[in-house]
Structure 1
Amino acid sequence: MAVMNSAFDPLYGEAWTRRQVEDALVIGNCHYQLISPSGDDPHDGTPAAGFYLSRHGFEEEELLLFAIDPAWRRRGLGLSLLREFADAARNRGARRLLLEMRRGNPAETLYRRFGFAPIGERPNYYRSRDGQTIDAITFSFDM
């Protein structure tokens, strides 16, 4: 939760509450992974530098949340965590990865560098806290 609260701009209301995360994990088809500042799994009290939360469906896995703490960005952790996500999803039987993000999200550069490509958009899907409407873009990565 600390990573999410530092990584997501409150203007856009993208961070989930603890309850939303807990509810997703109880469902059984949702998965998460943490990454430490050194790129390993956090252990022995090492704080997390990032995480993902995903939902698996038949031959697809959707990236629901992805965050790297701003203090640890631009060190390769995001790309490493995306690779871990893709490998884990493949091991669960996914043949395609999906994600949706607001237009203008700076993470788009990372997703495109990994190989995600836009496949659709939802006009005016998001509303920021100041009332601005923002399109959602759906991305896909075929494995």
Structure 2
Amino acid sequence: MATRQVATRAVALRTGDARDLAIVDALMTEAFDPRYGEAWTRSQCLGVLALTGVQLTLAIVDDVPAGFTMTRAVADEAELLLIAVAPAQRRRGVGTALIRAAIAECSACAIAKLHLEVRAGNDAVGLYRAHGFTKVGERRAYYRGKTGVAHDAHTYSRDINS
């Protein structure tokens, strides 16, 4: 029986800033279906990036932006504000690399809990659960897409050093 070799591509992570908003916009356009209303505008991202405790992390695969996270730390808690992975890069370790980096950064900064919010039914829930997040709450009709249809949001949380 012949063995099959699969090339493993490294996911490079780097800290981003406001100069990377064109990359963030492009990734959100590609990754977020507009019918759910999850993507942020450029001005929302710019405004949040100016806040204390906000970090933008970009994932690069083969010199091409593959995903990003935006987190915000306040006191001893943090929130994963946004995570996006280009559809062609899903299930290839990009989301895992980004989540692990966010958790490691929280640990290094003595953050006790990391929170996130996700649309009910989003496939990313499996990724979050695999990294120790548990559902702690729900917001009814939180997301509204371009058609006006409302979608619930679920809140997840994870202890950092457990």
Normalising by structure 1, what TM-score? 0.89
Q: 1:101-124 CA deviation, whole Å, 9 max, x = no partner?
A: 110111111111111000011122
Please give the alpha-carbon distance, in whole angstroms, between the structure 2 residues aligned to 1:18 and 1:131: 21
Query: Equivalent of 1:20, from 44, 54, 59?
Result: 44
Residue 31 of structure 1, CA deviation: 0.7
Cross-structure match for 2:146: 129
Query: Equivalent of 1:93, from 96, 110, 128?
Result: 110
- 1:5 pairs with 2:29: yes
Moved over 3 A (4+): none
Query: Equivalent of 1:108, from 109, 112, 125?
Result: 125
Residue 73 of structure 1, CA deviation: 0.9
Cross-structure match for 1:139: 156
What does residue range 17-56 of structure 1 map to in structure 2 within 5 Å? 17-37=41-61, 46-56=63-73
One-letter code of the match for 2:159? D
Decide which structure has the larger Cα Rg and report it.
Answer: 2
Cross-structure match for 1:66: 83
3-state SS of 1:27 partner: coil
Q: 1:65-95 CA deviation, whole Å, 9 max, x = no partner?
A: 0011001111111111100011112222211
Please give the alpha-carbon distance, in whole angstroms, between the structure 2 residues aligned to 1:21 and 1:73: 23
Please give the alpha-carbon distance, in whole angstroms, between the structure 1 residues aligned to 2:120 and 2:83: 16
Please give the alpha-carbon distance, in whole angstroms, between the structure 1 residues aligned to 2:69 and 2:96: 12
Please give the alpha-carbon distance, in whole angstroms, between the structure 2 residues aligned to 1:4 and 1:119: 26
Normalising by structure 2, what TM-score? 0.79
Please give the alpha-carbon distance, in whole angstroms, between the structure 2 residues aligned to 1:134 and 1:17: 19
One-letter code of the match for 1:97? L
| Structure 2: 5+ residue stretches without partners | 1-24
| Structure 1: 5+ residue stretches without partners | 39-45
